[in-house]
Amino acid sequence: MAETETATGAGVGVGEREDPDKSPQAVESAKESAAATGAPKPGQRAEVSNLDIVRHYFEVAADKLGIPEDVRTVFWTPYREVTVQIPVRLSDGKVHVYSGYRIQHNGARGPYKGGIRFHPEVDIDEIRALACLMTWKTAVAGVPFGGAKGGVNCPADKLEASEVQKVARSFMDKVEKVLGPTRDIPAPDVNTNAQVMAWLMDEYGKLHGHTPAIVTGKPISLEGSLGREAATGRGCVYMFREAAPHIGLSPTETTFVVQGYGNVGSWAARIMQQLGARMIAVSDANGAIRSDAGIDANALHDHIGRGGLITEFAGAEPIDPADLVAVPCDVLIPAALGGMIHEHNADLIRCKMLIEGANSPTTPAADRILRDKGVYVIPDVMANAGGVVVSYFEWVQNLQHFRWDEREVNDKLGTIMRRAYREVAARAKEENLHLREGAYLVGIERVAEAAHIRGYV
Ligand code: NAD
């Protein structure tokens, strides 16, 4: 079934530079030394992998749906996995070799769709997990795509822009054969943005002619969609608005905490603030800050945009990032990496609602602890679907060569997010399940139905 292409070579030497190269070997040895120190500290990522997390939730739902083992294998294993070697000469004069992946998990419902991340901890299992999650997410949102994900294990935040461009173009050169506007359409993810999408589109265009629908999340000047950059954060806020009345929260009296002040986290925060909610603590990879009087989400975004450190932001106290999740608040929004809420810190959490802006931020053990504590969890598979929904709108606009205005984009996003919440909440209520299980049931059922009707299985 699964078709595997592997073009990875051992070859070119990995050079040494001030910021150590994160080749697969280096990442492996870093993981080993981390493992040797035992359990993660409260602010660190969990020992359980993203793949373990997604697999666990898939199996729980597949059991409930009574999917037999043979068919379960079809829905769990990826359809196609491509691994490529990306040798790039960096400013230290040496060639650094990174590994790039594009994994197409399931295309029963439409072309594969999913982001590309540039991060030193990217590995094939993480991309498998994220691709699988995309399959259920597009189905829960009801947009006509399958699920995919890509990544390169480069330390993008430590590279110069020209070096990131080389990585992006080299990656596209090597995976373009499996991509296409009706085959597989990448998008931004961790450490990739509209600029990176522009380079990817340009590289694809050299071989295939101008093809804006090959990637989404592009700059507005290159047929990107209005509202796409904010879409994932905005989608999280639509979820909050749907769920808030059920647990007695009113936006103007809501306090919230954000872990990870990047695209998703900062947009979620800025839109929550527009509703009158107050951000009282926030972190990024450089540290964490807290102010019970409130942290201005717009001013913090501008400060970081100017190159300022989060910990240098005026009007808030630096805190240990490990303490962030323990700050009492109404809503906690993890919007950084996977596995950040785990069994060693879940018990510290003091929020009423947790909205998973990030993918797989919560391990199954942590999820159980949060349930016991009565925290209302809006899972990644629905909470952060706003990005792929507006990516769908961008793709539609590109195919039509017709731009929608931002209000239209945001309104249509709201319609889809509300529908997804209501459908999942109804299913969960019907079967006396939590939202995550309800969402997986809805997603897997829709994929299975499409696969059967197509005659795939
Ligand atoms: P981003 O690169 O813009 O932001 C990531 C943020 O996390 C940065 O501020 C970084 O400093 C911070 N961070 C990294 N390590 C951290 C740590 N240990 N503690 C606290 N903060 C840390 O990425 P993004 O696009 O905002 O993606 C964030 C998450 O949302 C990822 O899990 C991604 O898969 C998910 N997601 C993104 C989109 C999208 O449209 N961009 C869509 C769906 C899901």
Task: For the full predicted model, state whether its pTM sits above 0.85.
Answer: yes
Q: What mean pLDDT do residues 151-165 have? A: 97
Per-residue pLDDT, 41: 64
Best mutation site among 118, 215, 283, 284 for ligand 1 pocket (most ligand atoms within 8 Å of CB): 284
What are the backbone angles phi and psi of residue 52, rounded to the nearest 5°? -60, -40
What are the backbone angles phi and psi of residue 350, rounded to the nearest 5°? -125, 55
In angstroms, what is the span from residue 358 Cα to ligand 1's centroid?
6
In angstroms, what is the span from residue 7 Cα to ligand 1's centroid?
29
Q: What mean pLDDT do residues 442-451 have? A: 98
Query: Which of the residues are catalytic?
Result: 149
Per-residue pLDDT, 40: 66
Nearest ligand 1 atom to the CA of 231 is 40
- Residues in contact with ligand 1 by the CB-under-6-Å rule are 188-191, 232, 259-265, 283-285, 321, 335-337, 357-359, 384, 387
In angstroms, what is the span from residue 60 Cα to ligand 1's centroid?
27
Per-residue pLDDT, 30: 38
In angstroms, what is the span from residue 366 Cα to ligand 1's centroid?
20
Nearest ligand 1 atom to the CA of 192 is 2
Q: What mean pLDDT do residues 101-110 have? A: 98
Per-residue pLDDT, 46: 72
* Of 28-42, 124-138, 219-233, the least confident: 28-42
What are the backbone angles phi and psi of residue 156, rounded to the nearest 5°? -55, -35
Task: Write the pLDDT tens digit of every residue in 13-47.
Answer: 223 333 333 333 333 343 344 444 445 666 677 76
223 pLDDT higher than 50: yes
Task: Write the pLDDT tens digit of every residue in 108-126.
Answer: 999 999 999 999 999 999 9
